[in-house]
Amino acid sequence: MLMHLRRRILDDADRQIISLLVKNPDITQSEMAKVVGISQSSIAVRLARLRKSGLLRTMAGVDIKRAGLTLGRVDISTKDPAGVIAFAKKCPLFVNALLNVGQKNVTLFFVAERMETFQSLVNEHLGRLESIDGIDFSLVFPYMAEAPLPVETNPSIGPTSPCGLPFCPGCPADPNYEGRFWRSHEY
pLDDT digits (tens, 9 = 90+) for 17-47: 999 998 888 999 999 999 999 999 999 999 9
Rg of the chain over all Cα atoms, to the nearest angstrom = 21
Strands of 70-78's sheet in order across: 94-99, 106-112, 70-78, 132-140
35/102 Cα distance (integer angstroms):
44
pLDDT at residue 2 above 60? no
pLDDT at residue 182 above 70? yes
Residues 6+ apart with CB under 8 A from 126: 74, 76, 84, 87, 88, 108, 132, 135
pLDDT of residue 115: 94
Q: So where are the chain's domains?
A: 12-53, 64-140
* Closest to 41 (Cα-Cα) out of 57, 52, 58, 29: 29
Task: Provide the greatest CA pair distance for the chain.
Answer: 79
Mean pLDDT, residues 5-28 taken together: 84
Parallel, antiparallel or unpaired: strands 106-112 and 94-99: antiparallel
pLDDT digits (tens, 9 = 90+) for 74-130: 999 999 999 999 999 999 999 999 999 988 999 999 999 999 999 999 999 999 999
List the CATH code of the domain at 64-140.
3.30.70.920
* Closest to 167 (Cα-Cα) out of 117, 110, 115, 94: 117
List the CATH code of the domain at 12-53.
1.10.10.10
How many C-beta atoms lie closer than 10 Å to residue 176's C-beta?
8
pLDDT of residue 144: 55
